[in-house]
Chains A and B, each alone.
Chain A
Amino acid sequence: DAGVIQSPRHEVTEMGQEVTLRCKPISGHDYLFWYRQTMMRGLELLIYFNNNVPIDDSGMPEDRFSAKMPNASFSTLKIQPSEPRDSAVYFCASSYNYEQYFGPGTRLTVT
């Protein structure tokens, strides 16, 4: 299995631009999680899905953030408009039977 796939691995954008991060979970996993990691705040859970349905989005920092999971093999996290404080590493993880498997992350830099 290829594991959780995230793209792009690195993204540099200017403030105000729209950013879309993509995730392909492990086949057969029924949960998908989006996390953000920064030095200041550590690892934060943004939102998670169960069987493609959003369960808890209380960690999404603002309305500028949105996430979708149109099918079992794809999810997106969108930031519009982006701000410098959104700079972080964004991880996607998928899970089956309570074990979460993380992707390699997308390092986002907003200038």
Chain B
Amino acid sequence: AQSVTQPDIHITVSEGASLELRCNYSYGATPYLFWYVQSPGQGLQLLLKYFSGDTLVQGIKGFEAEFKRSQSSFNLRKPSVHWSDAAEYFCAVGPASGYNKLIFGAGTRLAVHP
């Protein structure tokens, strides 16, 4: 079955600390991979995506993610977190061809301490 697992429901980090949010997926073939961020009261915003090529991808707001095929993972990282990064983060996977329906993880809520 196709699924996305974000093992951490809540994460709290101090401002300026590094961040890694985990994402594991189960999919029939190598999928397209995405990270979205949702601030309170807003819709989801695309942070970054992986389609093919370099497995380390850069996104907006200083985020990056690394695709590891052997581990079926696509973890999101940021070297230094800002208070404005407090939000909910969703990992998503979709097919590399055909109808582009995405499967979303349950999300990880990030809190940032000053």
Could you tell me which A residues sit within 8 Å of B by CB distance?
A: 4, 31, 33, 42-43, 45, 48, 50, 55-56, 91, 93, 95, 98-105
- What size tier do the contact residues of chain B reach? 10 to 19
A-B contact count (CB 8 A): 48
Could you tell me which B residues sit within 8 Å of A by CB distance?
A: 32, 34, 36, 42-46, 49, 51, 90, 94, 99-102, 104, 106-107
Indicate if the CB atoms of B107 and A42 lie closer than 8 Å: yes
Residues on B with beta carbons closer than 8 Å to the beta carbon of A33: 101
CA–CA, A11 to B86, complex, Å? Answer: 27
Residues on A with beta carbons closer than 8 Å to the beta carbon of B102: 45, 100
Question: Which of A48, A50, A104 makes the CB contact (< 8 A) with B43?
Answer: A104
Question: Which of B43, B49, B99, B106 makes the CB contact (< 8 A) with A99?
Answer: B49
